[in-house]
Amino acid sequence: MDERAKRRGDARRERVREFALELPGAYEDFPWGESVVKVNRKIFVFLFLGHLVAGQEDSPPTVTVKLTDPAAHAHAMSAPGAVPTGYGLGRAGWVTIPLGEPGAPDAELLCDWVEESYRTIAPKRLVAQLDAD
């Protein structure tokens, strides 16, 4: 991966991280030495660096979200390099999206998917707080 693609992916990852942390009750954790954002002790977005993707040192950073809406899930799966998340999570709607690929989703669309993932994972009272803001 070239340096420009890596910087572009890193910038998207950071924007998504900032957005996720603005959601009610969200906080960052590092269970595997990599960033995840949780609500109510449950992960709603993984923000992994590329070296964790298939053991590739030079792969782009990724965002992983849970998308239960069929249209959003299909849209995310159409992103370049997107795959169902490993460890059986893909069967539950989790999608891993590389951020440095040409044609990767922009930060705004990624943030929409992060919000959907949050709404799926967060307690109803926090979703209601989000809707009230």
Alpha-carbon distance 111 to 12, whole Å? 10
Which of 34, 24, 40 has the alpha carbon at shortest distance from 64?
Answer: 34
Strands 62-66 and 83-84, how do they pair? Answer: unpaired
Alpha-carbon distance 36 to 44, whole Å? 8
- The 10s digit of each residue's pLDDT in 98-129 is 988 788 999 999 999 999 999 999 999 999 99
- The 10s digit of each residue's pLDDT in 69-103 is 999 999 999 999 899 988 888 899 999 999 887 88
Alpha-carbon distance 64 to 100, whole Å? 14
- The 10s digit of each residue's pLDDT in 12-71 is 999 999 999 999 999 999 988 889 999 999 999 999 876 544 455 566 789 999 999 999
